[in-house]
Amino acid sequence: MDESIVLLLNGWAGRFGLFDGLMQALVSDYLVPVWASVVLMGLWFHGTTAMERFLNQLVTITGALAVGLANAQVIILNQLVFRERPFVNLDLNVQFYLPTDSSFPANTAGVGFAIATAVFLRHRKLGSALYALAALWGIARVYAGVHYPTDVLAGAVIGVIAAVVATMIVRRGAFMLRPVLRTFKFFYAA
């Protein structure tokens, strides 16, 4: 089924220049992570009250920690399971550079869903938009022939779990972060 979905989506590759351009922008290693980072940075400085700003800063810290945890999980799984990329086993119209690391799990999905979940737990609408962006990133990776759908699903699950764990860690340690954030605020960095 994985191969069928890749072949179906990749079958559209190269047919419509405008659509290919959109998918190439989405599949890149930059568009989604940069926008997600911009959201986290915006939250860092956003808030009409000191408490609201503090809670948003906790979201930003949670998002960064979640990305780190997701990446760590992906690295560990990459050492245990190696899966060839779809373009190695299938005749595809590849729309991206040819990565050589394991296809499973999709690190990009882990990162996208980690940030989306961290934000969603405090800001539902903004988090939902980031979920949509992360999902489009995953679909674009399948369309481009660099991941199977199950790679993206596994990465998404890892990202969500990483964000939930990061949220629990940050909430428990929030009292230790207050003095650090006060110091940042003193230097106009928070």
**2-186, what's its fold?**
Vanadium-containing Chloroperoxidase; domain 1 (1.20.144)
Closest by CA to 114, choosing from 25, 22, 39, 9, is 39
Average pLDDT over residues 66-92: 93
Which segment, 87-91, 98-102, 106-110, is predicted with the most confidence on average? 106-110
Distance CA 29, CA 96 (A): 10
Residues 6+ apart with CB under 8 A from 88: none
Query: Domain locations in the chain?
Result: 2-186
pLDDT at 128: 98
Higher pLDDT, 187 or 45: 45
pLDDT at 166: 98
pLDDT of 186 above 90: no
